[in-house]
Amino acid sequence: MLARIATFAIDGIDPRQVWVEVDIRSGLPAFTIVGLGDAAVRESRDRIRSAIHNSGFEFPQTRITANLAPAFLRKVGPGFDAALALGVLAASEQVPGESLRAYAVFGELSLGGELRDSPGALAVAEGARRAGLRRLIVPRERAREAALVGGLEVVGVPSLRAAAEVLTGSEPPPLPAPVLDARAVAAEPDLADVRGHAAPLLALEIAAAGGHNLLFEGAPGTGKTMLARRIPSILPAMSRAEAIEVTRIHSIAGLHAAGLIQARPFRAPHHTISPSGLVGGGAVPRPGEATLANHGVLFLDELAEFQRSSLDALRQPLEDGCVTVVRGQRALVFPTRFMLVAATNPCPCGFAGVGDRCRCGEAELRRHGRRLSGPLLDRMDLLVTVERPTEHELRSAPETSSAKARDRVAHARERQRFRLSGSSAWCNGEMDARLVRRHVRLEDRAERTLADAYEVGALSARGRHRVMRVAQTIADLRGHDQITHGDLLTALSLRQRGQADLTLAA
């Protein structure tokens, strides 16, 4: 007897439909699984056997062959357990096979027959809807997450037994009550906690408003990381589509338990990270930090300490908003639309600019500058120095709060969206030279100052464009139709300086 059940493999971050076919023949008892499964799939035979026994069913003492089709697709992980077990039950006529036709099944089994929490349910649900299936059986913990996809009846079951009962016609259990995600409830860091740091806060707001990448420079312990952590709190709220994409990716990576992720991601990988850890990869390609930061913030602390190869790997993601990972003969595309925020010490000892503490000579400063320079620095529109707040500032009231800043950012984004509608860019930070020429308008005095700055060599050709983009964002924040002299000067003082400027210009 032959049974057929739909399930889904997760390929990178995308669901791919897989048919589980189970065939039972008379013969010596044997259970084989074919179809390019990995070790976890091979081991699932033993889990399934125990789970079936412990759920009060009979494991057929005959020859069982299971196939995971299509056979060319590599199947990874224990998520096929539930489909295989139900296939065995259907093939041995312990559950009705025809009722399985409308279902997709996903989940890992324990030996006791429970359906274990399995990452990636949202992606599976999306696949099931796309495949036109009406019902989806997932582990109970993942039911809420899968139910985020509309047009699909999600059945969250605690065990194989419960799944079999649903198939034989009993009422499916209701969706579990929403679990309060501790992380979502825990107050997000807010700008209202920040004392002092007037200039960095301004830079933060400009960066968030225009989607500009931002570089913090400052001595250890001045608050660079603290400030960076607060950027997601002033970015506009995610759209539902964005939130679902973020939830899907985080679910696949096993970083997220229940419900929809509302807060924009903030990822801060350690500087020892490898290129494939950063942009994705591995024998079975998995999304990297750049993809986990999609629609959020990727924060690189101690930028000078990262391997050159890791930073170089970020070029394509920054340029294209996605990264293509090629493994074997297959290419996977991961989305990487993130805002890049980096922090660095100003010099090897870290204390340049702080009183007389720095003992670095020109040679050290140059070496440090070389470590920083390169294609990544070129993508940084803003550079801001973070200084230790003064005692007076620590005692004074906070400069702003995230809610206020978020309103201003949203307002500035609205102006950009209006101006840039119909073009490839969606914020000032994404404008290329052509868009800058078309959209950026300066007042006469600002025009002259920009020309002067270029003339005296304070700006490179590329730096000039960066300054114009940033100045446009500042004008948007302040509600100016043209960039004023003041807007331009603020942009100039936050300009990213080349290596020559990071050290002594001699």
Partner 1 sequence: MNERACDRCAARAWLLGRLAGHLDTVRGRIDQVLALGDDDLLEAVGGAQRASVRRELGALNVDDVRARARAAGLDTVCRCDPAYPPALERLPASPAVLHVAGGLERLVELISADPVAIVGSRRASPYGLEVARSLGRGLASSGITIVSGMALGIDSAAHAGALEGGGATVAVLPASADRAYPAVKRALHRRIVASGAAVSELGPGTSVWRWMFPARNRIIAALAAMTVVVEAGERSGALLTAGLARGVGRPGGAGAGRVTTPQAVGPNGLLAGGAEVVRGPRDVLDHLFGAGARPAAGAPVREAPAELRPLLDAIAEGHATAAALARAGLGPDEGLAALAELELGGFVRRGAGGRFTVVA
Give me the residues that bind partner 1 (CB under 8 A), please: 196-199, 201-202, 217-219, 346-347, 351-354, 356, 358-363, 365-366, 384-385, 387, 389-390, 392-393, 399, 449, 452-453, 456, 458, 486, 489-490, 492-494, 497, 501-506
Distances 391 to 195, 196, 199, 386, 482 between C-alpha atoms, Å: 10, 9, 17, 15, 38
Nearer to partner 1, 148 or 358 (CB): 358
* Cβ distance to partner 1 smaller for residue 11 or 217: 217
Residue with smaller CB distance to partner 1, 104 or 384? 384
CB of 202 to partner 1, least distance (A): 4
Dist. CA 94–CA 106, nearest whole Å: 19
Q: What secondary structure does DSSP assign to 361-378, as a single string?
A: -HHHHHHHHHHH-SHHHH
Residue 3 CB contacts under 8 Å (≥ 6 apart), including other chains: 21, 22, 86, 87, 88, 90, 91, 97, 100
What token pair was written down for 352?
A: 């340049």
Between 172 and 486, whose beta carbon lies closer to partner 1? 486
Nearest alpha carbon to residue 213 among 319, 71, 120? 319
Cβ–Cβ < 8 Å for 153, 166: no
For partner 1, the closer CB: 30 or 363: 363
Residue reference for tokens 């044997």 = 30
CB closer to partner 1 out of 379 and 495: 495
Question: What is the Cα–Cα distance from 497 to 489, expressed in whole angstroms?
Answer: 15
Q: Output the smallest distance, CB 432 to partner 1, in A.
A: 25
Structure tokens at 251: 């679910």
Instruction: Report which of 443, 419, 442 is spatially closest to residue 430, judged by C-alpha positions.
Output: 419
Taking the least distance from each CB to partner 1, the nearer of 182 and 506 is: 506
CA nearest 382: which of 196, 504, 206, 232? 206
Determine how many CB atoms are found less than 10 A away from the CB of residue 361. Answer: 11
Minimum CB separation of residue 406 from partner 1 in Å reads 18
Helix then strand count (H, E) for the chain reads: 22, 16
Q: Cβ 317 to partner 1, closest distance in Å?
A: 28
What are 218's strand-pairing partners?
386
Minimum CB distance to partner 1, residue 373 (Å): 13
- Residue 365 CB, shortest distance to partner 1, in Å, is 5
> Min. distance of Cβ 436 from partner 1 in angstroms?
20
Helix 461-478 to helix 198-210 angle, to the nearest 10 degrees? 90
**CB of 151 or CB of 457, closer to partner 1:** 457
Q: Compute the least distance from the CB of residue 233 to partner 1, in Å.
A: 19
